[in-house]
Amino acid sequence: MLTLPLLPGTDGRKMSKSYGNTIAIRDTPEDMYGKTMRVADEFLPAYLDLATALPLARVDVLKRSLGGRGVNPMEVKKELAAH
């Protein structure tokens, strides 16, 4: 058996088509990018852990930067959305 944490939807509730808060595999790249940019800042660590192909070392750097002062979460979202 394989278990994984639930990925929150773009609005913070569990990701569900019925809630309309999904980022679907069949979405256009532009839609995926836009939806990723709307993810709440507090859910960025979960998205970095569960929904990116970035190297683990880069994920760790991005997650640490979210806790620091002067780092705009928008920059982290841009990198996440691009990958």
Confidence grade of residue 4 (pLDDT, cut at 50, 70, 90): confident
pLDDT of residue 76 exceeding 70, the answer is: yes
**Residues in CB range of 77: below 8 A, 6 or more apart:** 36, 37, 39, 44
Instruction: Give me the half-sphere count of Cα atoms (radius 13 Å) on the Cβ side of residue 50.
Output: 14
Query: Residue 74's pLDDT is what?
Result: 93
What is the C-alpha separation between 43 and 8, in angstroms, rounded? 7
Query: Residue 69's pLDDT is what?
Result: 72
Span 6-59, pLDDT tens digits: 889 988 898 999 999 999 999 999 999 999 999 999 999 999 999 999 999 999
Phi, psi of 67 (to 5 degrees): -85, -10
DSSP state letters, 37-49: HTS-GGGHHHHHH
What would the mean pLDDT of 48-72 be, rounded to a whole number?
88
What is the C-alpha separation between 83 and 70, in angstroms, rounded? 23
